[in-house]
Amino acid sequence: MPPPSAEQLEELEHLYRTGEGHLRIRALIVLLSAEQQRKVAEIAVLVRYDEETVRRWLHRYVAEGIQGLADAPRSGAPPKVTPEYREKLISVARQRSRALDLPFSLWTGWRLADYLAELTGIRLSAVSVYRLLHQGGIHFNRP
């Protein structure tokens, strides 16, 4: 691997410090190779990846730079949930249902899912609604 410039090392360090999950490990792989001249076998043991996986990430970094460490696009349906939906869900969940002229006093996952389906046209399950609420810092308790 060719020695990275100071700017590239700074980008990798920033990615390692602020990145999440796999990105952080991939940045560490490149840093261990570039800064400490560690061999692929040593890096594989340290990050608990297969040697071939470590080689693949090093080759992708050499070929594509820091952008090569990101996940490639995957096939499948695009996510249903948009940032606007998340914001709407959080704002509705923080309001009293009676204030919205609804015939019930307490929100449930299904009631929120139904109400937001009417507003946005996006239908989610109650479990998905609870998961999004939990990510937004809202936790429902039993009455």
User: What does the pLDDT read at residue 20?
Assistant: 87
Distance, CA of 108 to CA of 125 (rounded, Å): 11
Q: Give the angle subtended at the CA of 27 by the CAs of 26 and 29, to the nearest 5°.
A: 65
Per-residue model confidence as pLDDT tens digits over 20-76: 889 999 999 999 999 999 999 999 999 999 999 999 999 999 999 999 999 888 888
Amino acid at 90: I
Of 55, 74, 53, the C-alpha closest to 63 is 55
User: What does the pLDDT read at residue 36?
Assistant: 92
Distance, CA of 107 to CA of 138 (rounded, Å): 12
Please return the burial class of 53, using the count of CB atoms within 10 Å of its CB with bins 0-12, 13-18 and 19+.
middle
User: What does the pLDDT read at residue 88?
Assistant: 96
Task: Give the 3-state secondary structure of residue 21.
Answer: helix
User: What does the pLDDT read at residue 94?
Assistant: 94
Distance, CA of 47 to CA of 29 (rounded, Å): 8
Contact 138, 90 (CB under 8 A): yes
User: What does the pLDDT read at residue 141?
Assistant: 78
The answer, yes or no, to whether residue 109 has pLDDT greater than 80, is yes
Per-residue model confidence as pLDDT tens digits over 73-101: 888 888 889 999 999 999 999 999 999 99
Kind plus residue range of the DSSP H or E element containing 29: helix 21-36
